[in-house]
């Protein structure tokens, strides 16, 4: 029997068929109920006991090989191009439109690309966060308004678990596990308990940046932001820094860019000031460094944060924030050339 099995193994290895009809004949010859392999299976009862293990293994090898070879040949015939397969009578007569990237994705990727070329790496973190990473580690006072239910979404069963209100929580997580130099940007979606309107939404997207090292100064921050503004909005763009307040930076500032519509002359878009606000920034407060395990006597740093929707509005003049989340294909098709 072993000799017969070996002979069939060699035959099966060389099986070929020119058409489906020949293939079906081969299947019947080897794998049908009256085929050669089943005949050997039926004769297996006559094999001496001491040979059953060896013969059984060879029979299984033969059967598996035959099944695989027949299946391979069948797949080759199924995949052959033919006129009938190319003509899909159920297909619509109209061209199928290709999808496009969302405008927020286009702008976010452009922001990431600019800062990546300046040496920043991407850091990510959870959207469902704890109070420490969102507020306490960022120097928010216990009675800060941002901790109120009117401003933040809390998880009902866990009062210390919230939907993050900014991606500064990612900065905290990076500082916890890293020592300077640290140079990261943190893109992501954030949530705030606000009424939805043309100018506000309960969720939006941010890109925040953090750089910590020895001898980092406000001049370094200004130069990085100027470079970003001119790459994003054009080489003629000017910036202006105005004093502001944030719990996690000191000193703090808000940055405006010269209006690219009127060239700084004044128009309805910039409310006739010639300037448009795009982000907040400042030097990292020493209390934030210490809270996250970094020696503020050795290291300094700067941080900045911007809304992706805000930048997208400036680039594409989108007047209603709700359009970004309504999935209106007519609106999305306007950005095909920007992909």
Do 239 and 256 touch, CB atoms closer than 8 A?
yes
Strand duo 121-122 + 182-191: pairing:
parallel
Q: What is the CA radius of gyration of the chain?
A: 34
The residue ranges of DSSP E strands in the chain, in sequence order, are 121-122, 128-130, 154-155, 158-163, 182-191, 203-213, 239-246, 249-258, 275-284, 300-307
Name residue, tokens 């989340």: 325
Q: What is the pLDDT of residue 239?
A: 94
Do 201 and 170 touch, CB atoms closer than 8 A?
no
335 closest CA partner among 102, 98, 96:
102
Known binding-site positions:
250
Q: What is the 3-state secondary structure (H, E, C) of 249-310?
A: EEEEEEEEEECCCCCCCCCCCCCCCCEEEEEEEEEECHHHHHHCCCCCCCCEEEEEEEEHHH
> CA-to-CA distance for 307 and 268, rounded, in angstroms?
21
> CA-to-CA distance for 233 and 305, rounded, in angstroms?
17
What's the pLDDT tens digit per position in 193-246? Answer: 888 887 788 889 999 999 999 999 999 999 999 999 999 999 999 999 999 999
Q: What is the pLDDT of residue 85?
A: 53
Q: What is the pLDDT of residue 339?
A: 58
Query: Which residues of the chain fall below pLDDT 70?
Result: 80-88, 93-97, 146-150, 157, 337-339
Strand duo 203-213 + 182-191: pairing:
antiparallel
Helix (H) or strand (E) holding 318: none
SS3 190: strand
- Cα 95 from chain centroid (whole Å): 29
Known binding-site positions for Mg(2+):
250
Do 151 and 191 touch, CB atoms closer than 8 A?
no
pTM of the predicted model over 0.95:
no
């Amino acid at each position: 029997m072993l000799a017969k099995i070996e002979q069939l193994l060699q035959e099966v290895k060389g099986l070929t068929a020119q058409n489906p009809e020949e293939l079906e004949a081969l299947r019947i010859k080897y794998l049908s109920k009256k085929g050669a392999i089943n005949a050997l299976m039926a004769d297996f009862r006559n094999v001496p006991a001491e040979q059953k293990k060896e013969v059984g293994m060879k029979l299984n090898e033969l059967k598996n090989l035959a099944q695989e070879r027949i299946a391979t040949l069948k797949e080759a015939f199924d995949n052959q191009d033919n006129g009938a397969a190319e003509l899909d009578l159920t297909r619509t007569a109209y061209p199928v439109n290709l999808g496009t990237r969302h405008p927020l994705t286009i702008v976010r990727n452009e922001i990431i690309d600019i800062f990546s070329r300046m040496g920043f790496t991407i850091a990510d973190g959870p959207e469902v966060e704890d109070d420490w990473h969102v507020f306490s580690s960022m120097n928010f006072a216990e009675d800060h308004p941002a901790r109120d239910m009117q401003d933040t979404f809390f998880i009902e069963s866990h009062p210390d678990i919230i939907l993050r209100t900014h991606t500064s929580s990612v900065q905290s997580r990076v500082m916890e596990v890293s020592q300077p130099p640290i140079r990261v940007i943190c893109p992501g979606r954030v949530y705030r308990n606000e009424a939805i309107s043309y100018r506000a939404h309960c969720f939006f997207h941010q890109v925040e940046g953090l750089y910590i090292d020895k001898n980092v100064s406000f001049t370094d921050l200004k130069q990085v932001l100027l470079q970003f503004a001119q790459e994003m909005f054009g080489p003629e763009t000017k910036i202006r820094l105005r004093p502001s307040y944030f719990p996690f930076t000191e000193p703090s500032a808000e940055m405006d860019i010269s209006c690219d519509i009127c060239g700084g002359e004044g128009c309805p878009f910039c409310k006739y000031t010639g300037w448009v606000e795009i982000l907040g920034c400042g030097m990292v407060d020493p209390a934030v460094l210490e809270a996250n395990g970094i020696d503020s006597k050795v290291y300094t740093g700067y941080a900045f944060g911007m809304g992706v929707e805000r930048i997208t509005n400036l680039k594409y003049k989108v007047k209603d924030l709700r359009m970004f989340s309504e999935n209106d294909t007519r609106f999305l098709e306007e950005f095909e050339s920007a992909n």
